[in-house]
Structure 1
Amino acid sequence: MTTEAFIRRWPTGVHKAELIEGVILFTWMSGPFDERDVAAAQLVYPGRVVRLTSEGNLKVHPAA
């Protein structure tokens, strides 16, 4: 993995993490997240729904 990829990918590319009504919101620091980041987050949060927002942030919803 290159240094640039390391800085941009989730979770190392997170600028801020917030908990909003039970949903974790990860905002990006150096470029929007993509489906690779969603796949990584799904491994860390099994059973939860991970979504990519239109702004390129990640949302992790509680397990249903």
Structure 2
Amino acid sequence: MHLVNARLIVERSPWTLTLSAENLFNKRYNTDYFSAFFAGTPTDVGFPNSPRQLNAKLSVRF
């Protein structure tokens, strides 16, 4: 399994724009998984990863 993260930075004095993405293709999987037998629950228990996150940041120097 491969996750893709990306970052693009554009600088024009006096400002900087940063665009970033984590889990760009929204790959879904369980970070932890417990079968019902071992968890002692009626069903299997799984904890999903974080979904795609897109971020933008604008900085100005003066």
Query: If the TM-score is normalised by the length of the shorter chain, which range does it land in?
Result: 0.3 to 0.5
Return the structure number with greater strand share. 2
Q: Under a length normalisation based on structure 1, what TM-score does the superposition of the two structures give?
A: 0.33
Return the structure number with greater helix share. 1
Between Structure 1 and Structure 2, whose CA radius of gyration is higher? 2
Q: Under a length normalisation based on structure 2, what TM-score does the superposition of the two structures give?
A: 0.34
